[in-house]
Structure 1
Amino acid sequence: MIRRGGRRPLAAALTLCLAGAGAAATRATDQDRAPLPPVPAWQGRSERLVAQSGDPWITPAERTGFTATPSYAETRAYIDRLAAASPLIRVETFGRTPQGRDMIVVIATKDAAALDPAKPVLLVQAGIHPGEIDGKDAGLMLLRDIALRGGDAPLDRVNFLFVPVFNVDGHERSSPYNRPNQRGPISQGWRTTAQNINLNRDYMKADAPEMQAMLRLIDRTDPALYLDLHVSDGLDFQYDVTFGFQDAPYAHSPAANRWLEQVYRPRVDAALEAEGHVPGPLVLALDDRDPPKGLALPHFAANFSHGYGDLRHMPAVLVEDHSLKPYRRRVLGDYTLLAATLRTLADDGAALKQATIADRAARGSMTLTWRPRADPVRTVHFLPMTSERFQSAVSGGVELRWTGRPAPAADYPLYGSSPGETIVPPTAYWVSAADPDVIARLRLHGIRMETLDRPRTVAVDMVRVSGAKLAAMPVENRVPVSASGFAHERHEEEYPAGSVRV
């Protein structure tokens, strides 16, 4: 889930209070419970994917009728049983959480001990925000059907890596009240890690052990495509699955962006529509309480998964299922999207690889900062839901109530970003051996560098910062710093052995 920041609206806080005031006894069948809006009727072809009662390979979520999601231990037990039953499935531990839990990746492949480097790798992660856990249960169903039900054809041309739960510690901090504005499952995990780090703000700084493990996995497997599975919050609309990537005007990987827009999106949209789902674009609302004001799709910084993937030249897609749709429908939507992604990468992975090679070879100017743009960048054809305003006796103000009924399609203005600071990157950067943490973080990101085995004196252009100012509040365990002046100085600098040239 992507939030625009700021305080949560009072209505959301009131929802929390109302949900906690006695709903526990009814949450197993609470698809229509107040204060959530009514559930729109739906019957998709993807219903045929659900295993029947008594099936020996029914997943834990299917067994409950998609009212609950399994614990980490139950999830791991199902995956281990699947791996024991099929040579197509193997499980590896790629990290440990601060609370000592294994981080696992499930590898679906027809290759032997090592993955064939000629095949593109699809790396999918679920549970970066464990309250948004649809992708885990969809992945278990898909892995079963790949391993045991004849769904393995894409593995002839692509390898599938699946991380069922990225934030494992947060997954186990489960409660019925972690996401009360979401329609199922009964209990959801906690948003941040045991160290209170939001992993989907940690890609660039890589403070969390979980993120460091993920970056090592990315560096080792070099995914052709990276999917990050979430669930939305706030705005109601008709779509049940939305997805997107860095918008074209902001893309650091323009060739991959074109493939995502011209090849990936049409094929996945068509697959979802054929199964009865309603796919839509990844957008945010300027104001959740007044959607016609407009939508927003700004530049996403590299602390987000898809912003990081774009900057790293690793095509990345952010998926947001819609929180007000029933859990069953959301899981089936994710299954359909994942299966379509595998087929698309198997069919057209070579073209994506060439696009990525082109992006990695390109050089030129680079925009470092972006700022909100005052006027719309374009319009978006949007499928909204109806709402009504009412005088709330609880808040004392006028609040918004969603009705659960579709509204006529409309063209909404879309707001975005304008470029700020732009540079032409230098030939190289030097980092002194006196800054080992910086060098270690660069290595985590897979950045190539030359390491000095003896001291060297180098003529450098050094930038001296002036007017530095600390922010009043920390963000994600870091204190932001702004500056008012930048002065270039040219001189010789001696770098000791162990320093790096990037």
Structure 2
Amino acid sequence: MSNTLKTPFEKGNQNQTTTWADCIAWYEDLARQHPRVLRFSRIGTSDAGVPIHAGVVSSDGAFNCGEIKREGRPVFFNNNGIHPGEPEGVDACMALVRDFCLEPQRLAALGKTVFIFIPLYNVDGAFNRNNTSRVNQDGPEQFGFRGNSRHLDLNRDFVKCDTLTARVFNEFFTAWDPDVMVDTHTSNGADYAYTMTLIHTQADKLGGDLGDFLRDTMLPHMYAEMDRRGWPTCPYVNPVKDSPDQGIAEFLETARFSTGYAALHHTIGFMPETHMLKPFADRYHSMRALVETALDFTVAHGERIVALRRAAKDAGRTRREWPIHWNMDASNPSSFRFKGYEAKYKPSLLGDYQRLWYDRSAPYEKDIPYYNRFPADIVVYAPRAYVVPQQWREVIERLQWNGVRMERVESEREQEVACYHVKSVTSRPNAYEGHMFHDDVQLERGCASVTLRAGDHIVWLDQDNARYAVEMLEPLGHDSFFRWGFFNSVLEKKEAYSDYVFEDEAERLLREEPALAAKFADWKAANPALLQDQGAVLDFIFANCARWREPEWGRYPVFMID
């Protein structure tokens, strides 16, 4: 192999990672030399104006996305560098793609499967190179930064899409509709023997035969194959208490994360997390082994995976009951044979407390509880269609980027709809990725007659992308648009009153509205201390009366046609 085709990792002491400029130039040169194997091009631009690229590898020179999908060929997607400080996947992908170009036998083994990749996703963060932002990480010598140019974590941005980069990803992912995705990462946390740990699309959340296939067939094969390759792998080490000794829980990757986003499209997703306390060279080699293991399985079982995804999409077209929120079953753990180090405590030298440490001189291998069942705890009866009024353009755009089919209302008409009223919202006390995320939402369902105007959108659920629509438009979905604050303006009452005038009006309202009077009586009985507070009394009457009600206040503005 010529030196020009070696990656920076291979040229040096196996403790270097590529820069963005060297990475892109390297792929462009490789594509020029092997045009029948590799197609490499720009797919968009980041928030800082940096080009974002993607590549396609096929064994027979087929590169057209539309034709590949129409033929039903399996598509495997490798995303890299979402956190540029976790770069082993970036370098491993370079070597893998090069070997496809140089080794005919390896290329032929792809068969009909098409390998697509983003070489370095967070291009903004890749320019912020340092060796200080990953406090516990063993190499490489220089690396990029987790945040993008807007200081956002792109692995929290897949559905809210605050960044241009996430929009590029949404549109690229939707166009190719991959069957399996591997999004490469590095993790911190407990100390243990494994170099590679694995997050996967949570099988209960993926659901149906596709979820069963992942749990019962694909995952056991991948763990066995990684062990055979010399890289024993365990589930992502997410201790339920202080250390893995008391058990670990599967990571419930909601739609803000890459694997949770993949589930919205019925794609099997993996987020390999190498252990940052291990040397960079070991992390690199285990990452390549993991990507190859997932790819080889996809090649061998591609037809089955494609068929299972097709069946899941077809089932969604007529499904009425949709799980939209899941929670760990703490009463029914399985077990995992775990290779760890004994967790111990000793006095801290910094303060008056006991600190945790792991004794590497005391390794163990034992069965620990593994909490890997996540039944749905919120199930909704979905309508035949949702109505998204045109003024909520940020929501409409995201539905479009994800291939959701919508019917445009052509002329004004009255429509009977079901709707939600927001009874209460509890938000996080601090900003989370640029939003005040709504953790607890209480709803009340009702009916209304609304005016649909020309330009409003109807989202019929008889379509392949029904799951994305339901989980994003139902307010109680884990990462719904409502939870991320896209509809916050409806939570604010727009009109007010003057207390000395409204006092007399409130008396008339209580005489004229029996329902209000009954509700006020209940409120007084439950809140006797507030009767001394004029503002509290009048606010309650003003908020609950029929005469001065603002229909839009507290009404979730996405409606349902049953």
TM-score when scaled to structure 1? 0.84
Q: CA deviation at 1:243?
A: 1.9
Aligned match of 2:298 in 345, 349, 363? Answer: 345
Q: In the alignment, residue 254 of structure 1 is paired with which amino acid?
A: G
Aligned match of 1:67 in 8, 15, 25? Answer: 15
Aligned match of 2:398 in 441, 448, 458? Answer: 441
Higher helix residue share: 2
2:285 matched residue in structure 1: 332
Structure-1 separation of matches of 2:434 and 2:398:
16
Q: In the alignment, residue 56 of structure 2 is paired with which amino acid?
A: I
Comparing 304-313 with 392-401, greater Cα deviation is found at 392-401
Structure-2 separation of matches of 1:252 and 1:317:
12
Structure-2 separation of matches of 1:309 and 1:188:
27
1:252–1:366: structure 2 CA closer, same or farther, 3 Å change rule? farther
Q: CA deviation at 1:303?
A: 0.8
Aligned match of 1:466 in 423, 447, 460? Answer: 423
Counting only pairs closer than 5 Å after superposition, residues 181-220 of structure 1 correspond to structure 2 as 181-220=136-175
1:146–1:482: structure 2 CA closer, same or farther, 3 Å change rule? closer
Structure-2 separation of matches of 1:99 and 1:124:
23
Comparing 452-461 with 463-472, greater Cα deviation is found at 463-472
Please say if residues 93 and 102 of structure 1, whose CA atoms lie closer than 8 Å, have aligned partners that are also in contact.
yes
Structure-1 separation of matches of 2:343 and 2:426:
44
Q: Secondary structure at the match of 1:313?
A: coil
Please say if residues 253 and 356 of structure 1, whose CA atoms lie closer than 8 Å, have aligned partners that are also in contact.
no
2:438 matches 1:489: no
1:382 matched residue in structure 2: 338
Q: CA deviation at 1:61?
A: 0.9
Deviations for 1:428-454, whole angstroms, at most 9, x for unmatched residues? 111111212211111122222212222
Deviations for 1:107-128, whole angstroms, at most 9, x for unmatched residues? 1123345142322111110111
1:401 matched residue in structure 2: 357
1:388–1:93: structure 2 CA closer, same or farther, 3 Å change rule? same
2:46 matched residue in structure 1: 97
1:144–1:403: structure 2 CA closer, same or farther, 3 Å change rule? farther
Aligned match of 2:181 in 220, 226, 232? Answer: 226
Q: Secondary structure at the match of 2:303?
A: helix
Please list every run of 5 or more consecutive structure 1 residues that lacks an aligned counterpart in the other structure.
1-50
Q: CA deviation at 1:79?
A: 1.1
Q: CA deviation at 1:255?
A: 2.2
1:321–1:405: structure 2 CA closer, same or farther, 3 Å change rule? farther
1:268 matched residue in structure 2: 222
Structure-2 separation of matches of 1:86 and 1:184:
32
2:267 matches 1:318: no
Comparing 289-298 with 61-70, greater Cα deviation is found at 289-298
Q: CA deviation at 1:55?
A: 4.2
Q: In the alignment, residue 80 of structure 1 is paired with which amino acid?
A: E
Q: In the alignment, residue 260 of structure 2 is paired with which amino acid?
A: G
1:406–1:442: structure 2 CA closer, same or farther, 3 Å change rule? farther
Of structures 1 and 2, the larger Rg is shown by 2
1:176 matched residue in structure 2: 131
Q: CA deviation at 1:302?
A: 1.0
Please say if residues 464 and 488 of structure 1, whose CA atoms lie closer than 8 Å, have aligned partners that are also in contact.
yes
1:169–1:405: structure 2 CA closer, same or farther, 3 Å change rule? farther
Comparing 366-375 with 305-314, greater Cα deviation is found at 366-375
Q: Secondary structure at the match of 1:234?
A: coil
2:30 matched residue in structure 1: 82
1:167 matched residue in structure 2: 122
Q: Secondary structure at the match of 2:109?
A: helix
2:205 matched residue in structure 1: 251
RMSD (Å), alpha carbons: 2.2
Aligned match of 2:61 in 100, 106, 111? Answer: 111
2:387 matched residue in structure 1: 430
Q: Secondary structure at the match of 1:384?
A: strand
When the two structures are aligned, how many residues end up with a matched partner? 448
Q: CA deviation at 1:94?
A: 1.1
Q: CA deviation at 1:373?
A: 5.0
Structure-1 separation of matches of 2:361 and 2:223:
23
Structure-2 separation of matches of 1:482 and 1:258:
29
Q: Secondary structure at the match of 1:144?
A: helix
Structure-2 separation of matches of 1:482 and 1:219:
28
1:148 matched residue in structure 2: 102
TM-score when scaled to structure 2? 0.75
1:253–1:418: structure 2 CA closer, same or farther, 3 Å change rule? closer
2:430 matches 1:477: no
Q: In the alignment, residue 450 of structure 2 is paired with which amino acid?
A: E
2:321 matches 1:365: yes
